[in-house]
Amino acid sequence: MVEASKRLSSKAPRGPIAERWDKHRFNMKLVNPSNKRRFHVLVVGSGLAGASAAASLAELGYKITCFCIQDSPRRAHSIAAQGGINAAKNYPNDGDSVYRLFYDTVKGGDFRARESNVYRLAQISNSIIDQCAAQGVPFAREYGGALSNRSFGGAQVSRTFYARGQTGQQLLLGAYSSLMRQVGLGKVSMFPRREMLDVVVVDGVARGIVCRNLTTGAYERYAGDAVLLCTGGYGNVFYLSTNAKACNVTASWRAHKRGAFFANPCFTQIHPTCIPVSGSHQSKLTLMSESLRNDGRVWVPKRAEDGRAARDIPEEERDYYLERRYPSFGNLVPRDVASRAAKERCDAGYGVGSTGLAVYLDFRDAIRRDGQDLIRQKYGNLFQMYEKITAEDPYSAPMRIFPAVHYTMGGLWVDYNLESTLPGLFVLGEANFSDHGANRLGASALMQGLADGYFVAPYTIAGHFTGRPLPAVSADAAEFLASESEVRGRTEKILGVGGRRTVDSFHRELGGIMWHLCGMARSADGLNRAREQVQTLRAEFWENVTISGSGASLNQDLEHAGRVADFLEFAELMIDDAAHRCESCGGHFREEHQTEDGEARRNDDKFSYAAAWEYRGVGSAAKLHKEALEFEYVKPSQRSYK
Amino acid sequence: MSGDPTSSMGFTLKIWRQSAPDAKGTMETYHVADVSPDMSFLEMLDVLNESLIGEGREPVAFDHDCREGICGACSLVIDGQAHGPETETTVCQLHMRHYSDGATIHIEPFRANAFPVLKDLVIDRSAFDRIIAEGGFISTHTGSAPDANAITVAKDLAERAMDAAACIGCGACVAACPNSAAMLFVGAKVSHLALLPQGQAERNRRGLAMVARMDQEGFGNCTNHFECMAACPKGISVENIARLNRELLRGALAPRRV
């Protein structure tokens, strides 16, 4: 049995699971409509979670200030999501339900998520689709005008709504349009090109932030009554990932240093279908939507280091290894399983392409069956993107794909109200740890970001306003001045190192360490080496980094340096988390803990908990707190896709 | 086809450098070597910046983020063309295999009065956000929506709305237009919403409000050069400008509600 930490109260209600969210909302005090304007909420980030929260809270009457790192809130990285968004509408009449979406999500997360949260997410999923359709999101339609659904990521029902291969873009533009409407109405003040560098804590409550104006270099202090962090995931700790270049851990990490526990940082998702690395110059990786696995067949040659072109390899000399290993799910096994299987084949010498780090995703049979036109209709934009990047035509030769870091399930620990262990600090979307457990299912990230922003935080934040005394604070208070001076000092320290090595080279080296030793497969020995290497690299960074220009104007090199400095601290926590979890579950695969056929082996007796880490200083081991996970409805079982 | 990935190319770059919004800018010349044909244009600039930092010089500032052609952050004029020579391609998706070894390449920011330069190749496009804030939305309060299938949308309308909604807000249309008009940007948003049944309630005021703001921000108007469509990385059609003009007329003739 897991001994639960007294510091973590999930606040998840008891009783029948289908009634919990209703009951919780009923028990929560409401803020009088005329009082709402007195509460000022600082929303950091303008992706799906941030934009939807800022817009919805402003509609309720709260005073909102919203910040984003990009030049416009419309460019948050949610925009790059391709495939779709899940909801339990059961429009196709194929047997879906809230309960089934809940069940699939808990199971897909390999039994490391909180049941109450997941059930609520499934319940809310339907309202999200209604909301987005009303905003004018141009979802795919059937000829009769009804919404179209597809099956995604191996789901046995068609519950995914989509807008071509640009679902994230369209959902984000929907949330952004609602946000900009509130900006136009004067209910939201929007500050783009701002990077949050600290959360300011007054009397134990998060009451403001300090950020750097990326255009002028000035430090700015903002006071409020609550802070919402909607700042995304930390996949760029690996340097190469499908994340946008500006994605970083800084906001979460600075909040962590101020008292927010960081949960399950080792739970990272490696997406199986990305365009392989082509050379050492590569600055980021590009995802090819998972929907491709609905029609594409994954294979490698049966002969190791077979140098022939794909088309010259006859059928009987091809190893369709997913179909071979998992006859019932075949090419549609969950992401973690598909990624590991690709790595296994490549490690064994069967990889293809110039680097040997790729497998084929082949549409030959689908084109023979359905014709090129239908395949073009379904995946045209993806095929075009592939051709643009690789200069190869996927209609005539198979695509080459390889897994890449895509999403981070870990994040700041939050209770059922999405409040972190730092009172008044709420964390939404990918930045929190909730809902996906150890592995996220396809088309569930958009669902969670929008659920948190449209339909959870706008209710649960009221408990904070009605439940705590919140005396007026000024952004000139001592706590704010102290925070600014600390943040300023850190920037000046980086500028003052005056070394010889570029920020990017540190970031690349860190990424290499994390990818090889804390990526798709991890071992105690490898993690120990990773920890030493990260510590050495971090020490070198503070002695040898070089930054051009000054802090007094737009300086992208300096921005990057601050983020890499935080990644260098955060990476160690990720390694510690991976090392302490002596089991394999979801995206976390420990080589010592696998079944005879190489599948993940969980240890529910010892590890059925969320690991929430308390900060105790750079280089000092963080303190572990455990939130025991109870499964009353979905009984943990070995996932099997055979 | 792909060039030999091991081969290495070199270029002479003439790049706009401007230290601050009110500073005078100049074109500066740089040489970059060890460029692989598989690099994207931005990765080629990364190589240049790494070497500049190594020499203790300030790197070239440019906006970029997703590097997969969807966020709309990258915004370079390359040899006089917004987003460079490839059709329907953002700079981040432009690869060096399209250039000959030894070429001289001119790189400037998107230029328009409404897009002031902040530094080097970085511009301020917040005018676009202010235009959207005037009417680029459907006023719906979170929680008030009917069941999504209660509103049916004919498939062809949904497809055309999606064509218009694909705009990434990069501003290439403005940079390419001799008048610095934002009519394609505004037309795309107005079309997306006017085509859908959900957008009807606010249809008469939307275009007028957005165009009024467009004028106020200092964008020019359309005189049918169609350069915007040629530069658009998402292939947004000038049909959307025609539709915008019809929407403006419709709005102007609509009876005023009290």
Interface check for B108 against chain A (CB to CB < 8 A): the answer is no
For chain A, the average pLDDT equals: 96
Long-range contacts of A606-610 (CB under 8 A, 24+ apart): A606/A2, A606/A582, A607/A2, A607/A581, A607/A582, A607/A583, A608/A2, A608/A111, A608/A112, A608/A636, A609/A2, A609/A4, A610/A112, A610/A114, A610/A263, A610/A264, A610/A413, A610/A433
Q: How far apart are CA A556 and CA A553, in angstroms?
A: 9
What residue spans define the domains of chain A?
Answer: 273-406, 486-628
Contact B36 A141 (CB under 8 A): no
Give A203-258 pLDDT, tens digit per residue: 999 999 999 999 999 999 999 999 999 999 999 999 999 999 999 999 999 999 99
Note the pLDDT of residue B112: 97
Answer yes or no: is pLDDT of A423 > 60.
Answer: yes
Beta carbons within 8 Å of A368's beta carbon, 6+ residues apart? none
Q: Which of 110-129 (B) contact A at CB < 8 A? A: 118-119, 122, 124-126, 128-129
Give A134-178 pLDDT, tens digit per residue: 999 999 999 999 999 998 877 889 999 999 889 999 999 999 999
Report which DSSP code applies to A330.
Answer: G
pLDDT < 70 regions, chain B: 1-6, 257-258
Rounded to 5 degrees, what are φ and ψ at B204? -70, -30
Give B116-168 pLDDT, tens digit per residue: 999 999 999 999 999 999 999 999 999 999 999 999 999 999 999 999 999 99
Beta carbons within 8 Å of A334's beta carbon, 6+ residues apart? A108, A153, A154, A439, A441, A639, A641
Contact A178 B89 (CB under 8 A): no
Interface check for B60 against chain A (CB to CB < 8 A): the answer is no
Q: How far apart are CA A69 and CA B236, in angstroms?
A: 27
Note the pLDDT of residue A639: 78
Contacts of A501 in chain B (CB under 8 A): none
% of chain A with per-residue pLDDT over 90: 90
Nearest to A20 by CA among A128, A124, A100, A96: A124
Catalytic residues of A: 335
Nearest to A254 by CA among A468, A480, A23, A563: A563
CA B228 from chain center: how many Å?
Answer: 10
Distances (CA, A) of B161 to A150, B98, B198: 20, 33, 12
A377 — pLDDT class (breaks 50, 70, 90): confident
Selected from 1.10.1060.10, 3.40.50.2300, 3.30.750.24, 1.10.3210.10, the CATH number assigned to the domain covering B126-253 reads: 1.10.1060.10
Nearest to A340 by CA among A598, A84, A538: A598
The answer to whether A425 and A263 have CB atoms below 8 angstroms apart is: no
Nearest to A510 by CA among A252, A234, A254: A234
Tokens 């709309």 -> residue: B72
Contact B67 A284 (CB under 8 A): yes
The answer to whether B66 and A561 have CB atoms below 8 angstroms apart is: no
Task: State the ipTM, two decimals.
Answer: 0.97
Note the pLDDT of residue A490: 97
Note the pLDDT of residue B3: 42
Note the pLDDT of residue B258: 53
A486-628 — its CATH code? 1.20.58.100
Contacts of A281 in chain B (CB under 8 A): 36, 38-39, 43, 46-47
Contacts of B64 in chain A (CB under 8 A): 245
All CATH 3.10.20.30 domain ranges of chain B, comma separated, are: 9-119
Q: How far apart are CA B97 and CA B40, in angstroms?
A: 9
The answer to whether B237 and B229 have CB atoms below 8 angstroms apart is: yes
Q: Which amino acid is at A291?
A: S
Contacts of A59 in chain B (CB under 8 A): 141-142
Contact A192 B155 (CB under 8 A): no
Note the pLDDT of residue A642: 82
Which fold does the domain B9-119 belong to in CATH?
Ubiquitin-like (UB roll) (3.10.20)
The 3-state DSSP class for residue A299 equals: strand
User: In the structure encoding, which two tokens stand for residue A62, read together?
Assistant: 């709260």
Contact A504 B59 (CB under 8 A): no
Note the pLDDT of residue B2: 41
Mean pLDDT of A80-107: 96
Structural class in CATH, domain A273-406: alpha beta
DSSP string, B99-120: S-TT-EEEEEE---TTS-EEET
| Residue of A52, A145, A557 lying closest to B153 (CB–CB) | A145
pTM over 0.95: yes
Nearest to A406 by CA among A442, A353, A374, A368: A442
Contact B68 A147 (CB under 8 A): no
Rounded to 5 degrees, what are φ and ψ at A340? -65, -35
The 3-state DSSP class for residue B193 equals: helix
Report which DSSP code applies to A455.
Answer: I
| Residue of B56, B72, B122 lying closest to A548 (CB–CB) | B56
Distances (CA, A) of A120 to A79, A116, A160, A282, A481: 25, 6, 18, 40, 40
Q: How far apart are CA A585 and CA A574, in angstroms?
A: 15
Answer yes or no: is pLDDT of A9 > 70.
Answer: yes
Interface check for B19 against chain A (CB to CB < 8 A): the answer is yes
User: Which has more confidence, A6 or A502?
Assistant: A502
Answer yes or no: is pLDDT of A121 > 90.
Answer: yes
Q: How far apart are CA B83 and CA B93, in angstroms?
A: 9
Nearest CA distance, B15 vs chain A (angstrom): 17
Note the pLDDT of residue B257: 64
Mean pLDDT of A569-591: 97
Note the pLDDT of residue A166: 92
Closest chain B CA to residue A453: B142
| Residue of A79, A141, A181 lying closest to B158 (CB–CB) | A141
User: In the structure encoding, which two tokens stand for residue A345, read together?
Assistant: 């084949």
What residues form DSSP beta bridges with A219?
Answer: A212
Q: Which amino acid is at A89?
A: K
